[in-house]
């Protein structure tokens, strides 16, 4: 007897690899079709065959990618979590802030992706939000910063760009929830392969799908997931529809294809990143290697609890000779690609402060590395050759 695969019984890797495991009902194709239609036919009685009217609100290709990501993030949650794709990670992040109300107090990780900090600095005030940056790695600081009745959102990135500081998700949720504060976690760097924030109590999960989820450096997309389909979720969906923040169907299709290899890519990048961090942690040309997988990283113990199967593919190095020496190391690499962004198959290196601009708080001696899936020995040899020319501590 033909019995379809039970999605509840298989591992997330299996769901990802098989794109949820259902063939296209019309053709039997194992790869999903791409649905580019912008609009849907209305029936004589005024109804729509599947309830969809216009693609700015609903698109089956986006829905497929959303269901995949929800399965990966939602895990065993009853009924699964809700997921909405956006045109970029920034469109996803700002949709969360813009779904708040003027006067709401918002707590944000002090160390976080520069683009979010810049948007908050430029636009949150005019939107009427009261934004406060805090060290979310310091639980006393978080507890002291929460204003019961006024704080509506705690925004956390972990590991956080580009110092890879770790926030204890279960602990901050325990502080936030009794005060009625929603916890939103930017899970771009850990991905659901390593951390599923809902398991630690998070209310919202945000992704730049441009990074690991797609993984091939050829799609701009984002996502917001919610643990519950509550009025805030409906407001967020309404924002996406009415602000026009939906991604194109082609991007959504590429994204579902990228997610099929997510587990392989993230595990490989994590293994190589750990190998590189371990190999270079005492290199005489380096003042520090910042990687949560190293036992002397201040967040290592929490990361070991919160991240499963690896510590991610992102690390930073601080060059002992300072900003000038760091730029020379950057110029000397031959296998690493000099480029911004992260989470793709190619390994990337960048001078983070130069990328962020003059207002950046990032130290000038820091180079950010996004580890890809190349042969680890090639990356190690490349970095060793570039560092051997740099001055020693
Ligand atoms: C952690 C993190 N969140 C959000 C974003 C924004 O995503 P996007 O570039 O897709 O708009 C980025 C981009 O680098 C990121 O690294």
pLDDT in tens, the chain (393 residues): 567 888 888 999 999 999 999 999 999 999 999 999 999 999 999 999 999 999 999 999 999 999 999 999 985 445 567 999 999 999 999 999 999 999 999 999 999 999 999 999 999 989 899 999 999 999 999 999 999 999 999 999 999 999 999 999 999 999 999 999 999 999 999 999 999 999 999 999 999 999 999 999 999 999 999 999 999 999 999 999 999 999 999 999 999 999 999 999 999 999 999 999 999 999 999 999 999 999 999 999 999 999 999 999 999 999 999 999 999 999 999 999 999 999 999 999 999 999 999 989 999 999 999 999 999 999 999 999 999 989 998
Pocket of ligand 1 contains residue 291 by CB under 6 Å: no
Q: What distance in Å separates the CA atoms of residue 156 and residue 147, rounded to the nearest whole number?
A: 17
Instruction: Verify whether residue 308 is a known catalytic residue.
Output: no
Instruction: Verify whether residue 211 is a known catalytic residue.
Output: yes
Instruction: Verify whether residue 228 is a known catalytic residue.
Output: no
Q: What distance in Å separates the CA atoms of residue 132 and residue 120, rounded to the nearest whole number?
A: 10
**3 state DSSP class of 288:** strand
Going from the Cα of 115 to the center of ligand 1, the distance in angstroms, rounded, reads 7
One of 104, 168, 182, 186 is an active-site residue; which one? Answer: 186
Please enumerate in sequence order all residues whose Cβ is within 8 A of that of 376, keeping only pairs 6 or more positions apart, or say none.
271, 272, 275, 276
Pocket of ligand 1 contains residue 112 by CB under 6 Å: no
Cβ proximity of 183 and 156 under 8 Å: yes
Strands (E), the chain: 82-86, 105-109, 130-134, 151-157, 182-186, 204-208, 222-226, 286-290, 314-319, 337-338, 348-351, 366-370
Q: What distance in Å separates the CA atoms of residue 168 and residue 166, rounded to the nearest whole number?
A: 7
Q: Ligand 1 test: best mutation among 211, 213, 254, 362, most atoms within 8 Å of CB?
A: 211
Q: What distance in Å separates the CA atoms of residue 218 and residue 300, rounded to the nearest whole number?
A: 32
Q: CA of 365: how far to CAs of 55, 350, 361, 362, 388, in Å? A: 46, 11, 12, 9, 16
Which atom of ligand 1 is least distant from the CA of 93? Answer: 4
The residue whose CA is least distant from atom 16 of ligand 1 is 113
Q: What distance in Å separates the CA atoms of residue 270 and residue 202, rounded to the nearest whole number?
A: 24
């Amino acid at each position: 007897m033909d019995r379809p695969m039970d999605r509840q019984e298989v591992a997330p890797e299996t769901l990802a690899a098989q794109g949820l495991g259902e063939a296209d009902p019309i053709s039997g194709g194992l790869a999903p079709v791409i649905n580019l239609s912008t609009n849907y036919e209305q029936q004589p009685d005024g109804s729509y065959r599947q309830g969809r009217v216009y693609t700015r609100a609903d698109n089956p290709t986006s829905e497929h990618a959303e269901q995949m990501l929800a399965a990966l993030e939602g895990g065993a949650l009853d009924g699964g979590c809700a997921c909405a794709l956006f045109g970029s990670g920034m469109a996803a992040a700002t949709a969360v802030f813009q779904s708040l109300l003027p006067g709401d107090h918002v707590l944000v990780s002090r160390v976080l992706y520069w683009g979010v900090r810049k948007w908050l600095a430029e636009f949150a005030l005019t939107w009427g939000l009261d934004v406060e940056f805090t060290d979310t790695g310091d639980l006393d600081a978080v507890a002291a910063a929460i204003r019961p009745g006024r704080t509506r959102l705690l925004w956390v990135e972990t590991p956080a760009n580009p110092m890879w500081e770790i926030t204890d998700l279960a602990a901050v949720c325990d502080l936030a929830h009794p005060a009625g504060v929603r916890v939103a976690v930017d899970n771009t760097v850990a991905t659901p392969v390593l951390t599923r924030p809902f398991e630690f109590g998070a209310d919202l999960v945000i992704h730049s799908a441009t990074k690991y989820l797609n993984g091939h450096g050829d799609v701009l997309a984002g996502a917001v997931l919610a643990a519950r389909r509550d009025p805030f979720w409906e407001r967020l969906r309404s924002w996406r529809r009415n602000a026009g923040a939906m991604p194109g169907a082609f991007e959504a299709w590429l994204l579902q294809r990228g997610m099929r290899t997510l587990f392989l890519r993230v595990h490989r990048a994590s293994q190589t990143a750990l190998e590189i961090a371990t190999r270079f942690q005492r290199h005489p040309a380096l003042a520090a290697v910042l990687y949560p997988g190293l036992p002397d990283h201040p967040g290592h113990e929490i990361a070991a609890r919160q991240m499963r199967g690896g510590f991610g593919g992102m690390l930073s190095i601080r060059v002992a000779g300072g900003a000038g020496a760091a730029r020379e190391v950057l110029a000397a690499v031959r296998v690493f690609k000099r480029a911004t962004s992260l989470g793709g198959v190619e390994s990337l290196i960048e001078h983070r402060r130069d990328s962020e601009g003059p207002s950046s708080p990032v130290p000038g001696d820091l180079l950010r590395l996004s580890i890809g899936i190349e042969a680890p020995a090639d990356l190690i040899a490349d970095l060793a050759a570039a560092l051997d020319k740099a001055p020693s501590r």
